[in-house]
Structure 1
Amino acid sequence: MPGNSKRRGAISKNAKGNPTAGSGGRVRRGLEGRGPTPRAEERPNHKAYRAARATDRRQTPKPRKKRTDDFEWVAGRNSVLELAREGVPVTTLYVAEGTDRDDRIRELFKIAAERGLAVLEVSKGELDRLTDRAVHQGVAAKIPSYEYAHPDELLTRAREAGETPLIVMLDGVTDPRNLGAVVRSAAGFGAHGVVVAERRAAGMTASAWKTSAGAAARLPVARATNLTRQL
């Protein structure tokens, strides 16, 4: 029957009467060069791709936020003046408006001018807030966090002075004010330094600085992982 021949090269007609012939290799040639079908996780429209991207985002390390606790506040005229005299790196000096300019304040201003320190005049309420309502007497200083010495440095300090090492070891002291008091006393009787535990112990915070009455600017404080082993 015409159109239904099985012979090679025969042309069949579709329902609309249009002839349908082979592609002659055109389709095969058009597919050449496309390569293998991408995997599911490589196809943007596939859910496996979106799941993989979400996993990557979770595993990508996020940039660390800048620390906001890398400085300390020292309040009080004597404490601030003492650390200024000893050359402790002060970031900014704050003075409350209307503060009485006594000899200590005038000396602070002189040191600040010589060292090129920034001096800001703020309201008393603002200074109360900045120092967490410490007794600041109208003066406070912003300083970098305390840099602890290594215990071996205290021995070196005594050796360079040609003296027998005198080092105070503190264990179980958790109140920064007590630590400051010990630092003040140790400096008074000529110790070469104080060693505290690295964990579960008070650190050289602003409270310790203030209680030391500036002695922390002269006497190094070191930290040890294990006090018994350090001895």
Structure 2
Amino acid sequence: MAANNRRMSGKKGAQVGSGGNRRRGLEGKGPTPPAEARKGHVKNRIATAKAKKAAGRRPAPKGRGGKSSSEMVVGRNPVFEALRDGVPASTLYVQQFIDNDERVREALQLAAERGGIHLMEAPRPELDRMTNGLNHQGLVLQVPPYEYAHPEDLTAAAYDAGEDPLIVALDGVTDPRNLGAIVRSVTAFGGHGVVVPERRAAGMTAGAWKTSAGTAARTPVARCTNLTRALEAYKKAGIAVVGLAADGEHEVGDLAAIGGPVVIVVGSEGKGLSRLVGETCDFRVRIPMPGGAESLNAGVAAGVVLYEAARRRA
């Protein structure tokens, strides 16, 4: 009996409860997500594999002309602006079950209207992987590799058209927006193309395409492995090489060579022309600035000299 009494006795007072776990365990977890969104499901694996296959591997840059690597434009506003401004695109990736706001609808409409752009739906983890974790907001636009010309192609096109070559070469210009602005000026003033070095220089990215305002589709950009050697080749072909420099020996309006076959070399806004490139130039010219500014933006400086070259040719 004593043993039975001990088993039946217990402490009085508050008892430890479940903390609501039992009640929450009885609650539903909401609707079952579609198979494509359930990690581990066969349909999720298929959707992820399709997105990976469509994205493909980015090609490595090539040396002689060749192609650049592909580029991803990330985020709803950047994607919309790239599509609106005519940036070439191969694929528009849209996150599965994305919130369909106005910007998403506009981007999809632009892609459909332009044609030739593949629409791919991909799970969020795959878009995270493709963009290296950037805030893509459910939209990713793949820009195909830019096909660069060779420097000799620019002179050949000029002579085929019965014109003296008018080319701009960039030395140390690393801002794609400057490159885009220069491409736009070259087009406006009847130039035949732009030459950029393969390394430590801006390339034809989506930003450059946007700044060019569509002119990059008409004016070729050539790429060379060594800018000094490319300029030497132009000189051997009878083309004057004119470098822009704040301490140039000539004013741009006084140099007759600007009106003939010419390559205008523009340096970086901070350092100007590199030593070897400066020594390779036949002439170094300066832009008079009576207002007292120390320098001009690379794109603006190129536009001034291109205008003078076009004026002399006219």
Query: So what's the TM-score if we normalise by structure 1?
Result: 0.51
Identify which of structures 1 and 2 has the higher relative contact order when contacts are C-alpha pairs closer than 8 Å and 6+ apart: 1
- Please list every run of 5 or more consecutive structure 2 residues that lacks an aligned counterpart in the other structure: 1-55, 60-68, 232-314
Amino acid across the alignment from 2:113: K
CA RMSD of aligned residues (A): 3.7
What displacement does 1:221 show? 0.8
Q: Residue 79 of structure 1 contacts residue 213 of structure 1 at CA under 8 Å; is this kept in 2?
A: no
CA 169–216 in structure 1, closer or farther in 2 if over 3 Å, else same: same
2:155 corresponds to 1:155: yes
Cα distance in 2, alignment partners of residues 213 and 153 from structure 1 = 23
Q: Identity of counterpart residues, as a percentage?
A: 50
Distance 1:144 1:196, change over 3 A: same
For the residues of structure 1 that align with 2:218 and 2:85, how far apart are their CA atoms? 9
Tell me what 2:190 maps to: 190
Q: CA deviation at 1:153?
A: 0.9
Q: In the alignment, what sits opposite 1:48?
A: none
Residue in structure 2 matched with residue 99 of structure 1 by the alignment: 102
Deviations 1:100-159 (Å, cap 9, x if unpaired)? Answer: 566x975542222xx3x3124789xx79x959569x9x9763122222110111112223
Using the alignment, how far apart are the partners of 1:140 and 1:191 within structure 2?
34
TM-superposed deviation, 1:163:
2.6
1:169-223 residue CA offsets vs partner (Å, 9 max, x unmatched): 1111122222222222222322211001122222222332233233322221111
Alpha carbons of structure 1 residues 224 and 107: separation in structure 2 relative to 1, 3 Å? same
Please say which structure displays the higher CA radius of gyration.
1
3-state SS in 1 of match to 2:196: strand
> Could you tell me how far 1:224 is from its partner in structure 2?
1.8
- Taking the TM superposition and a 5 Å limit, the aligned residue runs for 1:1-231 are 67-68=57-58, 70-74=69-73, 75-77=78-80, 79-83=82-86, 88=88, 90-94=89-93, 97-100=100-103, 106=109, 108-112=111-115, 115=116, 117-120=117-120, 130=131, 132=134, 141-231=141-231
Structure 2 CA distance, aligned partners of 1:214 and 1:130?
Answer: 26
Q: 1:184 and 1:108 mapped to 2: Cα distance?
A: 24
Is the 2:195–2:222 Cα contact (8 Å) retained in structure 1? Answer: yes
Name the CA shift for 1:81/1:218 in 2 (closer, same or farther; >3 Å).
farther
Amino acid at match of 1:174: T
Deviations along 1:22-45, one digit per CA (max 9) or x if unpaired, are xxxxxxxxxxxxxxxxxxxxxxxx
Find the residue that maps to 1:209 and give its secondary structure.
helix
Report the CA distance shift for 1:152/1:81 in structure 2 as closer, same or farther (over 3 A): farther
How many angstroms apart in 1 are the aligned matches of 2:101 and 2:122? 10
Q: Report the equivalent of 2:20.
A: none
SS at match of 1:155: helix
Name the SS of the counterpart of 2:180 in structure 1.
Answer: helix
Of the structure 1 ranges 182-191 and 144-153, higher mean CA displacement relative to structure 2 is found in 182-191
SS at the partner of 1:109? helix
Q: Distance in 2 between matches of 1:145 and 1:161?
A: 28
Q: 1:181 to 1:226 in 2, by over 3 A?
A: same
**Structure 1 segments unaligned to the other structure (5+ residues):** 1-65
Output the CA distance in 2 between the equivalents of 1:209 and 1:122.
26
Whole-Å separation in 2 of the counterparts to 1:226 and 1:148: 15
Query: Is the 1:83–1:217 contact (alpha carbons within 8 Å) kept by the matching residues of 2?
Result: no
SS in 2 for 1:167: strand
Aligned to 2:6: none
CA contact (8 A) 1:174 1:202 kept: yes
TM-aligned CA distance change 1:99 to 1:217, over 3 Å: farther
Deviations 1:61-120 (A, max 9, x none): xxxxx8446411354545434546xxx4x3213578323566x975542222xx3x3124
